[in-house]
Amino acid sequence: MDRKNIEKLSDEDLLDKYKNTGDTEYFGILYNRYIPLLYGVCLKYIGDADKSQDAVMQIFENVFSKILQYEVRTFRTWVYSVAKNHCLQMLRKGKNEIHVDFNSEIMESDKILNLLNEEGSGEERSAILRQCIDKLPDKQRNAILRFFMEEMSYQDIVDNDGYTVNQVKSYIQNGKRNLKICIEKNSK
């Protein structure tokens, strides 16, 4: 199959051909389609062009070495989730090195941000939100970050973290309540 025909294949066809043949050309074409998306995701979370480029390369290496282990139904959704998770892990490891902007204009899901009142500057509100998220119990914090920031479904969280659906719903509900209380307390 020539390169022009290979490039016309769907994401899932490219992934299947890569898994079946081991030919890295299929994976390379697939991955090249998503470099701009991954760079955008990384830039949004990390806020630094050079670190975002590095993150895209790290994601590529990670995905390339592990893609055969996963059953991926929709590559676009899967790789987007991988990129967000990678960036969030970077943020957790180097909280002081990387600035995350919790501005509702660049977040896909700003439901948590609606908990903030309109008083104070955006930076103050972002700082309060980050502090309050950090104060949540681990299970609530993880469920909140996965659901709102990573846009994972309840089932994705269940599959990823091993909780039941009811536990996930409870962690999110309690986490939202605790965030609201914390934000209101720290915004006065």
Q: How confident is the model at residue 77 (pLDDT cuts 50, 70, 90)?
A: confident
- Residue 12, both tokens: 């899932």
CA distances from 83 to 13, 34, 71, 179 (A): 21, 11, 17, 26
Average pLDDT, the chain: 79
User: What single-letter DSSP state applies at residue 48?
Assistant: -
Calculate Rg over the CA atoms of the chain: 19
pLDDT at 188: 64
> Could you give the CA distance from residue 57 to residue 39 in angstroms, rounded to a whole number?
10
Most confident of 99-103, 112-116, 137-141: 137-141
Q: Contact 47/100 with Cβ under 8 angstroms? A: yes
> Could you give the CA distance from residue 173 to residue 76 in angstroms, rounded to a whole number?
29
| Model confidence at 119: pLDDT above 70 | no
19 vs 126: which has the higher pLDDT: 19
Average of per-residue pLDDT across 46-65? 87
CA distances from 51 to 35, 69, 113, 182, 183 (A): 14, 27, 26, 32, 30
pLDDT at 3: 67
| Model confidence at 38: pLDDT above 70 | yes
Average of per-residue pLDDT across 12-18? 89
Q: Where in the chain is the domain with CATH 1.10.10.10?
A: 112-186
Q: Contact 75/27 with Cβ under 8 angstroms? A: no
Average of per-residue pLDDT across 7-26? 88
pLDDT at 115: 45
**CATH tag for 3-93 (out of 3.40.50.10490, 3.40.228.10, 1.10.1740.10, 3.40.50.620):** 1.10.1740.10
pLDDT at 139: 92
**CATH tag for 112-186 (out of 1.10.10.10, 3.40.190.10, 3.10.20.30, 1.20.1260.10):** 1.10.10.10
Q: Where in the chain is the domain with CATH 1.10.1740.10?
A: 3-93
Q: Where are the alpha helices (DSSP H) in 136-164?
A: 138-144, 154-161
- Helices 165-186, 154-161: inter-axial angle, 10-degree rounding: 100
Residue among 49, 78, 65 nearest 152 (CA) = 78
| Model confidence at 43: pLDDT above 60 | yes
Least confident of 38-47, 93-102, 135-144, 164-173: 93-102
Q: What percent of the chain has pLDDT over 70?
A: 82
| Model confidence at 124: pLDDT above 70 | yes
Q: Contact 152/160 with Cβ under 8 angstroms? A: yes
